[in-house]
Amino acid sequence: MRLAAVVLCALLLAVNANGVDTGRGKGKGKGKGKGKDDNVSTSGCDILSAVLPGQVVWPESASYGISNKYWSQRQSEIHPSCFLTPTDTASVSVAMEILTSNSIPFAVKSGGHTAFAKGSNIGPEGVTIDLRLLNTISVSPDRQTVAVGPGNRWANISSTLDPLGLAVVGGRVSDPGVGGLTLGGGISYFSGQRGWACDNVRAYEVVLASGDIVTASPISNADLYWALRGGAATNLGIVTRFDLASFEQGPLWANTLLFDASLNSTLIPLFQNLTVHGLPSDPGAHTYFGFVRLPTGYLIYSDQFHANPSSSDPNQVPAAFEPFAAVPALVRNPRMSNLTSLLHAIEQAYGDRQIWMNVAVRGTSAQLLQDIVPLHEAHVNRMLGARGANETTITPYLTFQPIPVNVLDAMQVNGGNALGLNRDDGPLVIIQSATTWTNPLLDDAVEMSTRVFLNDVQALAKKRGLYHGFVYMNYAENTQDVFGSYGAESLQKLRGVAKKYDPNGLLQDLWKGYFKLW
Ligand SMILES: Cc1cc2nc3c(=O)[nH]c(=O)nc-3n(C[C@H](O)[C@H](O)[C@H](O)COP(=O)(O)OP(=O)(O)OC[C@H]3O[C@@H](n4cnc5c(N)ncnc54)[C@H](O)[C@@H]3O)c2cc1C
Ligand SMILES: *[C@@H]1O[C@H](CO)[C@@H](O)[C@H](O)[C@H]1NC(C)=O
Ligand SMILES: *[C@@H]1O[C@H](CO)[C@@H](O)[C@H](O)[C@H]1NC(C)=O
Ligand SMILES: *[C@@H]1O[C@H](CO)[C@@H](O)[C@H](O)[C@H]1NC(C)=O
Ligand SMILES: *[C@@H]1O[C@H](CO)[C@@H](O)[C@H](O)[C@H]1NC(C)=O
Ligand SMILES: *[C@@H]1O[C@H](CO)[C@@H](O)[C@H](O)[C@H]1NC(C)=O
Ligand SMILES: *[C@@H]1O[C@H](CO)[C@@H](O)[C@H](O)[C@H]1NC(C)=O
């Protein structure tokens, strides 16, 4: 995209000729271009605005509020000097070249569902690229591929595909973005048969640090294709289109069960057996299991799904889930549902503060899972202690997300992904702590306590010889070493790919806020 450079030079000349500013945007390469009185980000927005008219969203404008809407309050209270809302891939390319050649710090937002501050937003020192206008959805004539822009949310895609009897491997909730979820991995209702979302991308269209637009697929830039499957997009480039593998899909079976928490020692062994036996023996089945601490005490939830149930009668419980049918539940609502309705069933409200952390342990011991529960109770007590007598809501969750061996097998298609997992690692269970709260004064206490909890889980699992250590990017806190957890081989390979496609490490320096390779 040399064109952008030409336009940019012309612009700078014009600005200089008018005597408006001589210091802005002149820097080429790292660290330059920041004069004493210079405001790098504001000048960056000026340049972007001149080159991409109508695509810069300024703080005063009404649509700034739309772009600055994030799921976690900790992100929406960050305010960039401007947003850029590119309307097509060429605009992303032009923007990328301006940002990297002028050393302008930036962040990138797809659905904005990162929990921690600045995960997909940046302060006044930079620009946030909001991909929301890249929202095309296009089904190929042979119905095998759906090309989607990263501005889409999962419900946008399912509401297009449901009427066609098609589906893709994507998120389980309506509102998260296609971009972050797919690039980080992507646990789906369909993962038992097809692996994670990243394993079902046929091709990525990517804008590299240079502004060049490339395709990454098993036959074109195959190393980049591998690295984008759960790897380090924020070191590699901005994905402007995902070509997702699609398949014929009818209604799913779903059941949401709530139990009294005193049943934990009955239910945890059922969940653990499901992870080791039930799920691999019936790959259409999917589940997660956990605890929520309400003001009245803990409740247990078990969400159960089947992608191709043998009967259309919702009361016909798939065999894998039968053991749960014998346990008295507070709520049980088996149903047949299209994907869009399912995605809307577990929406999570905006406006609260959010944190999550996770680590994988071996799925072979119900006792380990059982003994993690008191560690979570201690975590809850620490947080409630910090709150004291003040009336403010804190809602802690402990979720077990299984990675059974059938999913690990399915991840190996087309050269495998970057996560560094194979069948021998499994079965695994991701131990995920997530907390929702409202009072910013509690931020430090919640963060500290969550880290202590995770540490306690790691220590216990290690003591039992049941530690694995994989950290799932999409549920990780910014302090966690996600890429290190993929193993030395995967990490080294990822770094090599990043060096090849961004030799000057521009994205390592300038793309702020998420997980980096160095
Ligand atoms: C309510 C809820 C439900 C969830 N359900 C699931 C689930 O079912 N399965 C699952 O696996 N995870 C799930 N998650 C976790 C989810 O995958 C992550 O929060 C994910 O990061 C969300 O993607 P996003 O695009 O909304 O986030 P964003 O915060 O917009 O992006 C996350 C990161 O990806 C980068 N990024 C985004 N788009 C691009 C792009 N096009 N090119 C390059 N980089 C990009 C961003 O810069 C940022 O670093 C859920 C989260 C929430 C809050
Ligand atoms: C620099 O940018 C920030 C954020 O937009 C703004 O608040 C500040 O006033 C700017 N400073 C100057 C000198 O323009
Ligand atoms: C996409 O989904 C979001 C939320 O899930 C919704 O607000 C928006 O209207 C949808 N966009 C389109 C074009 O359907
Ligand atoms: C999905 O299910 C909902 C609720 O039953 C229904 O209103 C909607 O029309 C369905 N959509 C499709 C495409 O079948
Ligand atoms: C788990 O079950 C045991 C035995 O029924 C009970 O003592 C304990 O309080 C339960 N834990 C929680 C968090 O409810
Ligand atoms: C474990 O799961 C298998 C397969 O679903 C099932 O046959 C068996 O009865 C289960 N065992 C227990 C103790 O629940
Ligand atoms: C609790 O309330 C007291 C008195 O209003 C206040 O001083 C303190 O900062 C509050 N603490 C938290 C964690 O909200």
Domains along the sequence of the chain with CATH:
2-130 (3.30.43.10), 137-249+488-510 (3.30.465.10), 252-337+352-483 (3.40.462.20)
- Position in ligand 4 atom list of the atom nearest CA 338: 1
Confidence of residue 373 (pLDDT cuts 50, 70, 90): very high
For the cut 70, the answer to whether the pLDDT of residue 100 exceeds it is yes
* Tens digit of each residue's pLDDT (9 = 90 or more) over 346-367: 888 999 999 999 999 999 999 9
Report the nearest-CA residue for atom 7 of ligand 5: 262
Q: What pLDDT is attached to residue 346?
A: 87
Report the nearest-CA residue for atom 23 of ligand 1: 180
Question: Do the strands 106-109 and 331-332 form a parallel or antiparallel pair, or are they unpaired?
Answer: unpaired
Distance 45 CA to ligand 2 centre (A): 11
Report the nearest-CA residue for atom 6 of ligand 7: 390
- Position in ligand 6 atom list of the atom nearest CA 274: 2
What are 420's two structure tokens?
């560094």
**Average pLDDT value for residue range 122-148:** 98
Q: Mind giving me the DSSP string for 365-399?
A: -HHHHHHHHHHHHHHHHHHHHHHTT----EEEEEE
Sign of CA pseudo-dihedral 199, 205, 206, 212: positive
Question: Do the strands 56-57 and 106-109 form a parallel or antiparallel pair, or are they unpaired?
Answer: unpaired
What are 432's two structure tokens?
């995920």
Q: Provide the β-strand partners of residue 356.
A: 434
For the chain, the average pLDDT equals 93
Which secondary-structure segment (H or E) carries 19? Answer: none
Q: How far is the CA of 119 from the CAs of 90, 91, 138, 173, 180, in angstroms?
A: 25, 23, 29, 19, 10
The pTM is what? 0.92
CA-to-CA distance for 404 and 233, rounded, in angstroms?
26
Neighbour-count burial of 137, counting CB atoms closer than 10 A to its CB (0-12 exposed, 13-18 middle, 19+ buried): middle
What are 161's two structure tokens?
């595909």
144 C-beta closer than 6 A to ligand 5:
no
Higher pLDDT, residue 73 or 42:
73
From the CA of 174, the nearest ligand is: 3
Please say whether the beta carbons of 146 and 139 come within 8 A: yes
Q: What pLDDT is attached to residue 40?
A: 63
- Position in ligand 6 atom list of the atom nearest CA 320: 5
Report the nearest-CA residue for atom 1 of ligand 2: 39
Residue 467 has what DSSP assignment?
B
What are 419's two structure tokens?
């996560």
Closest CA to 120 of 138, 105, 133, 106: 106
**Which alpha helices (H) appear in 411-504, and where do they start and end?**
443-463, 488-501
Q: Which amino acid is at 83?
A: F
For the cut 60, the answer to whether the pLDDT of residue 33 exceeds it is no
Distance 196 CA to ligand 1 centre (A): 13
For the cut 80, the answer to whether the pLDDT of residue 21 exceeds it is no
Please say whether the beta carbons of 446 and 437 come within 8 A: yes
Q: Apex CA 80: angle with CA 75 and CA 82, to 5°?
A: 135
Q: Provide the β-strand partners of residue 487.
A: none
Closest CA to 184 of 91, 276, 249, 110: 110
From the CA of 112, the nearest ligand is: 1
CA-to-CA distance for 472 and 477, rounded, in angstroms?
10
394 C-beta closer than 6 A to ligand 7:
no
The SS3 call for residue 280 is helix
200 C-beta closer than 6 A to ligand 2:
no
Please say whether the beta carbons of 211 and 93 come within 8 A: yes
Report the nearest-CA residue for atom 4 of ligand 2: 124
What are 326's two structure tokens?
């014998």
CA-to-CA distance for 342 and 304, rounded, in angstroms?
11
Q: What pLDDT is attached to residue 390?
A: 86
Neighbour-count burial of 19, counting CB atoms closer than 10 A to its CB (0-12 exposed, 13-18 middle, 19+ buried): exposed
Please say whether the beta carbons of 104 and 209 come within 8 A: no
156 C-beta closer than 6 A to ligand 3:
yes
From the CA of 265, the nearest ligand is: 5
Q: Provide the β-strand partners of residue 436.
A: 354, 395
Q: Euclidean distance between the first and final Cα of the chain, in Å?
A: 27
From the CA of 158, the nearest ligand is: 4
**Average pLDDT value for residue range 156-184:** 98
430 C-beta closer than 6 A to ligand 1:
no
Closest CA to 290 of 279, 277, 303, 280: 303
Report the nearest-CA residue for atom 9 of ligand 7: 441
Confidence of residue 39 (pLDDT cuts 50, 70, 90): low
Q: Apex CA 433: angle with CA 430 and CA 434, to 5°?
A: 125
- Position in ligand 6 atom list of the atom nearest CA 282: 5
Q: What pLDDT is attached to residue 26?
A: 33
Report the nearest-CA residue for atom 3 of ligand 2: 124
What are 477's two structure tokens?
């806190």
For the cut 50, the answer to whether the pLDDT of residue 369 exceeds it is yes
CA-to-CA distance for 227 and 124, rounded, in angstroms?
31
Report the nearest-CA residue for atom 5 of ligand 2: 81
The SS3 call for residue 450 is helix
- Position in ligand 7 atom list of the atom nearest CA 442: 13
Neighbour-count burial of 89, counting CB atoms closer than 10 A to its CB (0-12 exposed, 13-18 middle, 19+ buried): middle
Report the nearest-CA residue for atom 1 of ligand 7: 390
For the cut 80, the answer to whether the pLDDT of residue 54 exceeds it is yes
Please say whether the beta carbons of 258 and 330 come within 8 A: yes
CA-to-CA distance for 309 and 28, rounded, in angstroms?
58
From the CA of 398, the nearest ligand is: 5
In 10 A of CB 212, how many CB atoms? 14
The SS3 call for residue 83 is strand
CA 495 from chain centre, in angstroms, equals 21
For the cut 60, the answer to whether the pLDDT of residue 278 exceeds it is yes
Closest CA to 486 of 418, 430, 425, 432: 418
71 C-beta closer than 6 A to ligand 3:
no
Higher pLDDT, residue 182 or 38:
182
Distance 80 CA to ligand 2 centre (A): 10
CA-to-CA distance for 461 and 370, rounded, in angstroms?
12
CA-to-CA distance for 255 and 121, rounded, in angstroms?
36
Residue 76 has what DSSP assignment?
H
Confidence of residue 41 (pLDDT cuts 50, 70, 90): low
